[in-house]
């Protein structure tokens, strides 16, 4: 099973490290042909505007959208969640998206950088809290009936799953705790 | 659920935003229009300032933090992070920028220093700081003061990449040297670098710079940006190189693309076509010592 990390921009290295800790041998994906050779993909944290534009300009958005539609497991953190979200609300747009996850997201919904925060969150199925890092994080405004909410902060979803799509508004790749990456890898086996 | 404890302003959150900017280009802008061009080109952030370094060199005078009204206009206009520069040691300019909601502060040698001995105590702030450095010792002194991101100083406002190369090579080769040292050699190394011992020891143990390291100062072409990335920079600041060139829209976009595909000469060649005139360069040797901005900062 080949797991890729989209390597256009952002905290690619941290996701590679977390996936290795979780037992995978990940590769960086930057080209359309690489997009075809993988079995699962992580969309890292970064600037969603930048990553979306680069996906579009280098012919990656079409193949990626198609692969996600056909059921390739995908995990998006922060910017990655924005790229996956079906709907964007608020003043900041994100025109180039995969738009496959039935949620409405407000970009920078938790505020600017001075409001960025860490918190211990409870995650469904984990026996101890998860240290979650939120950096100019997207806020999930609502989630469709097919979306399972795995973690919440202040009554808002922060970790969600729909079919083989996993998304978090926080950055599990930054804390050295690989449990969420393990959860993602278990989705590859049909889990 | 609303009683969850949220910790703001910690080192991980401050350094974390810089991690999210890796592989990207941060562009100097002096107006809302320029900020929109930068965002449209794919910049990961913009740096709001009063004048770009090339104009500072040409016009002289005291250079301060940008007019807050201009910074506020830029914050309103774009969705990407907005950085702004304060003068070295001018902690009140930094307080003002933080209160306005700026996402990162660059305590910058490009502005006129406000304190000839001390930098801002950056631990006091919730907003993270990026600082320039010419070598590893200087970079670690800035981290000791609380900076969460470092950039090479290069030689701003010249379109000449030579000093950025020198600074990046110096920092990275010093890291490699520390990584090969015996523990008992590290205190002498810290003394020689004039750097905090704990940070020297951390680098010796991990073999890595502890925060994100961008390059800045003289990047004018897509190939310049890719050169700095291949040398080991995590990302690129471009100052005068874009808006002092013949076709800022095309050049901004090309520098973003060359930074992403920095290892792919075919793509760098392709994006470098038809960009019009690059900014007019200045030979570093022609700059008198008193105007060498990299010498500011202590």
Tens of pLDDT, residue by residue over B237-256, are 998 889 988 899 999 999 99
Contact between chains at A114 and B101 (C-beta distance less than 8 A): yes
Average of pLDDT values for B108-136? 97
Give me the domain span that covers residue A53.
3-188
Q: Could you tell me what percent of chain B has a pLDDT over 70?
A: 99
In this complex, the residue of B7, B126, B257 whose CB is nearest that of residue A114 is: B126
pLDDT at B134 over 80: yes
Tokens in use for B288? 């008198």
CB atoms within 10 A of CB B26: 26
Distance from CA of A80 to the nearest CA of B (A): 11
How many domains, chain A?
Answer: 1
Q: What is the pLDDT of residue B169?
A: 97
Average of pLDDT values for B53-78? 92
Q: What is the pLDDT of residue A95?
A: 85
Domain holding A156: CATH number? Answer: 3.40.50.880
Average of pLDDT values for B130-146? 98
Contact between chains at A112 and B101 (C-beta distance less than 8 A): yes
Distance from CA of A153 to the nearest CA of B (A): 6
**Higher-pLDDT residue of B289, A144:** A144
Residues of chain B with C-beta less than 8 angstroms from the C-beta of A92? 79
Average of pLDDT values for A19-36? 96
Tokens in use for B34? 């320029």
User: Sign of torsion, CA B57 B60 B61 B67?
Assistant: negative
Q: What is the pLDDT of residue B3?
A: 67
pLDDT at B194 over 50: yes
- pLDDT band with cut points at 50, 70 and 90 for residue B2: low
Q: What is the pLDDT of residue B288?
A: 77
For residue range A100-133, what is the model confidence (pLDDT) as tens digits?
999 999 999 999 999 999 999 999 999 999 999 9
Q: Which residues contact A86 (CB under 8 A, 6 or more apart)?
A: A99, A100, A101, A102, A103, A104, A144
H helix runs in chain B, sequence order:
11-20, 32-41, 53-59, 68-77, 91-99, 136-144, 162-179, 186-193, 197-206, 222-231, 240-243, 248-260, 265-271
Residues of chain A with C-beta less than 8 angstroms from the C-beta of B5? 119-120
Contact between chains at B2 and A154 (C-beta distance less than 8 A): yes
Distance from CA of B107 to the nearest CA of A (A): 17
pLDDT at A190 over 70: no
What string of DSSP letters covers A82-135? HHHEEEEESS----S----EEEEEETTTT-SGGG-EEEEE--TT-SS-EEEEES
Per-residue three-class SS string for B32-88: HHHHHHHHHHCCCEEEECCCCHHHHHHHCCCCCCCCHHHHHHHHHHCCCCEEEEEEC
Contact between chains at B79 and A79 (C-beta distance less than 8 A): no
Q: What is the pLDDT of residue B1?
A: 46
Q: What is the pLDDT of residue B279?
A: 75
Contact between chains at B12 and A118 (C-beta distance less than 8 A): yes
Q: What is the pLDDT of residue A191?
A: 54
pLDDT at B228 over 60: yes
Tokens in use for B255? 């520098």
- Residue pairs between chains A and B whose CB atoms are closer than 8 Å: 123
In this complex, the residue of A12, A93, A118 whose CB is nearest that of residue B23 is: A12
In this complex, the residue of A49, A117, A155 whose CB is nearest that of residue B79 is: A49
For residue range A57-115, what is the model confidence (pLDDT) as tens digits?
999 999 999 999 999 999 999 999 999 999 999 877 888 999 999 999 999 999 999 99
- Test the A interface: residue of B9, B15, B42 with most A CBs within 10 Å: B42
**Higher-pLDDT residue of A95, B236:** B236
Average of pLDDT values for B167-190? 97
Mean pLDDT of chain B: 94
Q: What is the pLDDT of residue B156?
A: 83
pLDDT at B109 over 80: yes
Of A80-94, B34-48, B284-298, minimum mean pLDDT range = B284-298
Local structure of residue B129 (DSSP, 8 states): E
From B38, which residue of chain A is nearest by alpha-carbon distance?
A50
In this complex, the residue of B1, B13, B24 whose CB is nearest that of residue A9 is: B24
CB within 8 Å of chain B, chain A residues 58-117: 58, 78-79, 91-93, 107-108, 112-117
Catalytic residues of A: 78, 171, 173
What was the ipTM of the complex prediction? Answer: 0.96
pLDDT at B157 over 90: no
Residues of chain B with C-beta less than 8 angstroms from the C-beta of A12? 22-23
From A134, which residue of chain B is nearest by alpha-carbon distance?
B13
**Higher-pLDDT residue of A38, B297:** A38
Beta strands in chain A (DSSP E): 3-6, 27-29, 40-43, 74-77, 85-89, 101-106, 117-121, 130-134, 139-143, 148-153, 156-162, 165-168
In this complex, the residue of A53, A154, A171 whose CB is nearest that of residue B4 is: A154
Contact between chains at A46 and B44 (C-beta distance less than 8 A): yes
Residues of chain B with C-beta less than 8 angstroms from the C-beta of A121? 4
Residues of chain B with C-beta less than 8 angstroms from the C-beta of A170? none
pLDDT at B104 over 90: yes
Catalytic residues of B: 85
CB within 8 Å of chain B, chain A residues 121-150: 121, 133-136
Tokens in use for A62? 């079409």
Shortest CA distance to B25 belongs to which of B265, B258, B271?
A: B258
Contact (CB, 8 A) for B84 and B59: no
Local structure of residue B215 (DSSP, 8 states): B
Residues of chain B with C-beta less than 8 angstroms from the C-beta of A169? none
């Amino acid at each position: 099973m080949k797991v890729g990390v989209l390597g256009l921009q952002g905290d690619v290295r941290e996701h590679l490290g977390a996936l290795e800790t979780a037992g995978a041998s990940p590769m960086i994906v930057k080209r359309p042909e690489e997009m075809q050779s993988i079995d699962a993909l992580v969309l890292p944290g970064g600037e969603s505007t930048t990553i979306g534009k680069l996906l579009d300009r280098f012919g990656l958005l079409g193949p990626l959208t198609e692969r996600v539609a056909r059921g390739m497991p995908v995990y998006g953190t922060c910017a990655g969640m924005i790229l996956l979200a079906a709907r964007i609300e608020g003043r900041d747009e994100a025109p180039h998206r995969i738009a496959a996850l039935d949620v409405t997201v407000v970009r920078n919904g938790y505020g600017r950088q001075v409001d960025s925060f860490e918190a211990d969150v409870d995650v469904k199925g984990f026996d101890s809290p998860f240290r979650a890092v939120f950096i100019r994080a997207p806020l999930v405004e609502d989630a469709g009936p097919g979306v399972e909410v795995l973690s919440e902060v202040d009554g808002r979803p922060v970790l969600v799953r729909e079919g083989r799509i996993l998304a978090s508004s926080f950055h599990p790749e930054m804390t050295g705790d690989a449990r969420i990456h393990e959860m993602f890898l278990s989705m590859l086996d049909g889990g | 659920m609303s009683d969850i404890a949220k910790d703001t302003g910690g080192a991980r959150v401050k350094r974390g935003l810089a991690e999210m900017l890796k592989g990207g280009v941060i562009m100097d802008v002096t107006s809302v229009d320029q900020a929109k061009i930068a965002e449209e080109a794919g910049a990961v952030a913009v740096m709001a300032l009063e004048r770009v370094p090339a104009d500072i060199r040409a016009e002289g005078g005291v250079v301060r933090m940008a007019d807050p009204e201009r910074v506020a206009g830029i914050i309103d206009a774009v969705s990407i992070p907005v950085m702004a520069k304060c003068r070295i040691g001018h902690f009140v300019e930094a307080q003002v920028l933080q209160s306005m909601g700026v996402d990162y502060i660059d305590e910058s040698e490009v502005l006129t220093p406000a304190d000839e001995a001390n930098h801002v105590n950056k631990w006091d702030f919730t907003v993270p700081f990026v600082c320039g450095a010419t070598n590893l010792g200087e970079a670690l002194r800035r981290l000791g003061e609380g900076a969460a991101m470092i950039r090479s100083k290069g030689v701003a406002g010249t379109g000449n990449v030579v000093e950025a190369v020198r600074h990046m090579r110096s920092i990275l080769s010093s890291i490699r040297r520390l990584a090969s040292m015996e523990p008992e050699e590290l205190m002498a190394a810290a003394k020689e670098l004039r750097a905090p011992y704990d940070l020297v020891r951390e680098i010796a143990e991990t073999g890595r710079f502890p925060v994100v390291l961008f390059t800045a100062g003289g990047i004018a072409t897509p190939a310049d940006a890719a050169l700095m990335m291949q040398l080991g920079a995590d990302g690129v600041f471009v100052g005068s190189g874009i808006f002092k060139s013949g076709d800022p829209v095309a050049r901004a976009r090309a520098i973003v693309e060359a930074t992403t595909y920095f290892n792919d000469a075919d793509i760098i060649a392709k994006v470098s076509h038809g960009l019009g005139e690059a900014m007019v360069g200045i030979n570093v040797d022609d700059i008198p010592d008193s105007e060498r901005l990299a010498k500011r900062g202590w």
